[in-house]
Each structure stands twice: as C-alpha cells, then as structure tokens.
Structure 1
C-alpha cells in the first residue's frame, strides 16, 4: 500500500461493481507506471551528472581526453564497446575505442560505411538506436552487426568546424533493451564535447604552424 501512495494513487475511487474494479485496476496501473517512470528519470539524471563530471575531469591532452570520455561512456551505458569513428570517402574506421579485447581487435579495421550501423546515423544526421532485433528500421542488421553478433547500437554524428568528422557510438553483444531518452542525450553531450576538443586541437596545430 505504501508503494501505491508513493506512486501517486491517493485519490478515492468507490468500488461497487465489476466496472469499478476495472477502473481501479487501470488507475493503479497508470499510477505505478508513472512512479516507475519518475524513478527511471531520476536515475537517468543522476547518471548524466556522473557522466558530465567524468567529461569535465578529462585530461588536457586530446587523445587521453577522448579515451577518458569513451571509458566513461562505456561504463555509464554498461556496454561492450564505445568508440569514436572517422568517416572519409564512405570508409569507416574507429580512431579511438574502449571495450573488450575481442571487439577492440575486431573493430580496428577500415570497412565500407555501408556495412555499419553508422551509415544510417550519417545519412539521417541524427542520433540513431537499433531496435529489439539489432537492426535499424527496415534495414535489418548491417554486415558488421551480423559478423560480430552485435545486439544493440546507439550512435550520433560528430561534426568538427561544421564538417562531418565521424560518429560516436556504443555497441553490445548481449543487451537487447532499448535506449532511454537520457541515454540518447548523454551520447549527444559526449559527442559535442569531443567535437570541441578536436576543434581546439586543430586550432592549436594551426597556431603552431604559423609560429614555425
């Protein structure tokens, strides 16, 4: 009963017949679902704060900073791999990644963009997540997903100085549940931070060339 009050079921519903019982059951189901949704949002907000703290505390060296953020993203999402990919001329290659030894080795090669989940992310220019069967919309699971047995994907574009650099994404071999709104927000925040770091690194390199 205390759980129902916490869920917000505090109004009075008289119960006299079958219809009243059905109305009460529907009311309680709605209240409990709303309560669980508030809990999920609270957990998501707390997790986002922890991710933000990890990003803020990243090293100043750009490579070490990106590795630190990828590690924080992987830990936050509890996935097998988090990586930053570079996309050039429809070729896809991870330039930084944190994950299991097997996936780090398997994902180190350059592959056609069309064989990856990120093709949809780039084509649509937005954050994209796989559905329950590991595919994206009507595409089904891409070649890299089938070859490595990937069950889920979440990715977002990374643009540097207004141009597409690549994508930031996470993948996992066992997770089948979808990604919550806060998880999509979190990877977008991390992608924007990485983009700024890459822009700053380019600017520092330009200034060094001018001095030399």
Structure 2
C-alpha cells in the first residue's frame, strides 16, 4: 500500500473514532465498544477488548469487548496477568504489538497455548497516573505484515481516550457521592437543629441502630460496634417505665419529632440511667424538600442527654417534701395536742409534767430531722470539683468523732497510709453518717471494722457491723436511692450519704450476711 493510501486510511479511521467517542447520546460502554470495532477493522484482527488490572491479585478482567457472529464477546473473562500478553504492555508502559508469535519467540506462552492468540496489539491505559489496564486487539491467525508506527499511534490514541473517559467517569462518580454525603450531612444537621445533647445515633426504618457517637460508650458502657445493628428499643429498661418505644419510632417515621424525658436505659453494667430523648425523621437526600413525603423517610436521628443530675435534684426535693409533709406534720400535731392538754392542767399536775416530757421528745425529733435535712441540702450539689484527697486523715477524724459519741462501740480502722482518691470534703460527712449508723444501730457493744481495697480505677471503703442488718427500705436507699412510701427521720441520714457519694462520682453497695452488714463506698482512685 502506498504512503498516500495509508495516510488516507489512517485519516478515515481517526475521523470515525472521533465521531464515535464524541457521540454523547450513547452510553460510555457502547461508545467504547464501537471504538474497538473501528480498531478491529483497521488492524484486520478478530477481536478488540479493554481490560482492567487488579494489581493486588495480579489479575486482569475484560470489561468491554467487541461481539460478532464469528467472535463472541469476551466480557467477564479474567486470568492471571502472567497468562496474558497484556503483562508485557503494562510492564513496558508502551504499545506492545507483533503480527505473529513466532517473530517474538512466544510460541509457548500461556496466551498462545491457552487462547490460541498468534497476533496481538496492546496499548496501556493510565488513569490518574496509575496503570489501569489495556486496550487490546488480537487474532488467532498470524498477520502478514507488521504493525506500523501509525497503527501503534492509533491504538495509543484509543487507550488515551479510554483513560480520559474513565477518569471523567470516576470524577463524576466521586462528585456525585460527595454531593450525596453533603446532602446527607445537611439533612442530619437539620434534624439536629437546636438540639444540644450528649449522644447521637441513627436508625433505619426498622429501628436498627446504624450509627452512634463514641460518647455513647462513656454514658452507657456499650461500644459503637456493639450498639450498631441492634434494635434501639433493646436498651429500654421496661421495669422502670411504661413507654411505647415502637410507638415513638412509628411517630418519627410518620414525620413527627418525638420527645421523651426521663427515659430509663439499662447500662452495660446493669445500672439504670435516665436520659432525655429526642428523635427526628431523616429523609432521602435525593428528594428535594418540596417533594418530600413520609415515604421518603429512611430512618430516625436520635439524640439523648444524661438526666441523672436532674433526677437526683428532683429525688432530693421529693424526699425533703415527703419528710416535711409526713414527719413534721405528725410531730407538730403531737406538739399541738399536748400543748392543748397543758392549757387544761395545773402546773404541778403529774399529767402536765408527762405531757411536757412528750412535747420535749417530739421537739428533739424535729430538731434532729431539721439538722439532718440541713446537712443533706448542704452536701448535695449538682456540680462538684473532684480533687486528689488522702483517705486516711479523713477516716481518722471520722473514727475519732464517732468513737467519742459511742464509747461502747469498737471501731477498728485498717487502712494503708497512702491511699489517694478523687473526691471532695463532702465525703467526710457521708462517711461519718455510715460509720455512725453502724455504731448506733448494731447492738449494745458493736464492732465496726473499716478497711480499704485499692484498685486501678476505683478504691472501695468497707464499713462493716455485727448487727441485725439494715431494713430492706434503708438498703434500697443506699443501693439505688429509691424513695419508699414513708421516709422516717432515722433514714434521712442514709439519703444524705447516698446523694453525697453519688454526686462525687462514687457508688454504694450493701451486702448482708448472718454476721452483719457491710457497706461498700466506691470512689475514683487517684495517683498513688
């Protein structure tokens, strides 16, 4: 063929290639297949195909292929890179072509033996500066003439066009994904508007948790991995409330923003905490605000806030109210009744003296309750600054004071010298109440051993006695702070101990045996 004829043939092929690639009405796959067909015709081979490289697995897969009656599509075919001639193309980073395997000594190559390829023409595809795959043309019969430089340029052009199209496709895909993410975050932020809570989470329409903030672990003890995939209602402590969790979810999925205060949740350690909850629907971000309906809701955005401090304050006020209403009301009634009686008696009358004694007893009780209530109010606060504090000096002072008030009691203090905890001076009042309670109510000559068990994260102070044990109502006060139907003056000090210790990031435990009762006070361990 003359140079002029070859030049015209090349020009015609280039024009056809340009027209095919720039026909944007066609899907990319169809345009690439048409480009390959132009190459098959131009090179006089059987098939053209585009491969994608998987470097980690050393594999190639054909993702686009020509298709004819004599040569079916090779799309989907994959093999190790070393079994193909594409390996040379990718390693050389240049066009690799030969008219016959015998001219390059590849008669025994796996591609020849396995697929019967005798003529091959391949160009590397590069996407974002990295090897992506190859554009290949092959035939089972050898070609009579070698591939010219113009033909190699033509295949290189096709590979460059393919690389550019894939880059654009990847860019558009990432851009679309990014836009969806931005819209998703915007929708979530919309659901979070004017909400400033501790923990955020999301559920799908079935109520399965799909996301939770890391702060959830600090509040309830479960990790993100443990929470995600579980039903949101599984954390609800049913024995402490009567809330229709599924009903709340259904309302949110119908477009409402739902709220619930003092929502009981069971922590991982079995403790119950109360939270404030708010949930808002999350809409499909591909649907515009104007076109949204409840069918476009894909889940619920939930936010919770720890309500422990508020419930403690409410519990405190409830106790004070009940004590004042019950104890003071009854005792003041006694005072009034006997005062009326005194008005009808003579000063030297024996009944008058007896009535006067009873008035004094009732007044003493009122004074005792009043003082304890003042201690409770003074020692229970909503916020406390915890500091490094040595326990031994505190316990020494408390033991000395209680021992002087109850000389019949034997108080044994067994504690290491250097035990430091994070607490505040308020702990002294709480410890005195517990030690005094053991010395006062454990018989005529009680023994009260006190010991300390130091741990890496927490330190426990054990106060034991050999008495009959705490009544169940007072044990409940120390363990949970639960309010009993009637709180008498004798139990108010235990309330004070509970609220003071729990407000200092501490906790209490009670164990009773035939030998007596042991109260454990757990406080955060400080530096030793």
TM bucket (normalised to shorter chain) is 0.7 to 0.9
Asked if residue 110 in structure 1 is aligned to residue 81 in structure 2, the reply is: no
Shift of 1:55: 2.7
Question: Do the aligned partners of residues 59 and 175 (structure 1) sit closer, same or farther apart at CA in structure 2, a change above 3 Å counting?
Answer: farther
Q: Which residue of 2 aligns with 1:45?
A: 11
Distance in structure 1 (CA, Å) of the matches to 2:25 and 2:102: 36
Q: Deviations over 1:74-99 (max 9, x none)?
A: 23323211000011131111011113
Question: Do the aligned partners of residues 105 and 60 (structure 1) sit closer, same or farther apart at CA in structure 2, a change above 3 Å counting?
Answer: closer
Q: Which residue of 2 aligns with 1:145?
A: 112
Gaps of 5+ in 1: 1-34
Deviates more, 1:168-177 or 1:37-46: 37-46
| Alignment equivalent of 1:201, drawn from 164, 169, 187 | 169
Deviates more, 1:102-111 or 1:195-204: 102-111
Whose radius of gyration is greater, 1 or 2?
2
Distance in structure 2 (CA, Å) of the matches to 1:39 and 1:47: 12
Shift of 1:130: 1.8
Secondary structure of the equivalent of 1:194? helix
Distance in structure 1 (CA, Å) of the matches to 2:123 and 2:150: 14
Distance in structure 2 (CA, Å) of the matches to 1:135 and 1:93: 26
Name the count of aligned residue pairs.
177
| Alignment equivalent of 2:49, drawn from 59, 68, 83 | 83
Gaps of 5+ in 2: 181-528
| Alignment equivalent of 1:166, drawn from 112, 133, 141 | 133
> 2:95–2:123: 8 Å Cα contact kept in structure 1?
yes
Secondary structure of the equivalent of 2:159? helix
**Going by fraction, where is helix more abundant, 1 or 2?**
1
Q: Which residue of 2 aligns with 1:69?
A: 35
Q: TM-score, normalised by structure 2?
A: 0.31
Q: Which residue of 1 aligns with 2:479?
A: none
Q: Which residue of 1 aligns with 2:60?
A: 92
Deviates more, 1:163-172 or 1:71-80: 71-80
Shift of 1:146: 2.3
Question: Do the aligned partners of residues 154 and 101 (structure 1) sit closer, same or farther apart at CA in structure 2, a change above 3 Å counting?
Answer: same
**RMSD in angstroms over aligned alpha carbons?**
2.4
Distance in structure 1 (CA, Å) of the matches to 2:24 and 2:109: 33
Question: Do the aligned partners of residues 111 and 54 (structure 1) sit closer, same or farther apart at CA in structure 2, a change above 3 Å counting?
Answer: same
Secondary structure of the equivalent of 1:45? helix
Distance in structure 2 (CA, Å) of the matches to 1:202 and 1:45: 31
Q: Which residue of 1 aligns with 2:178?
A: 210
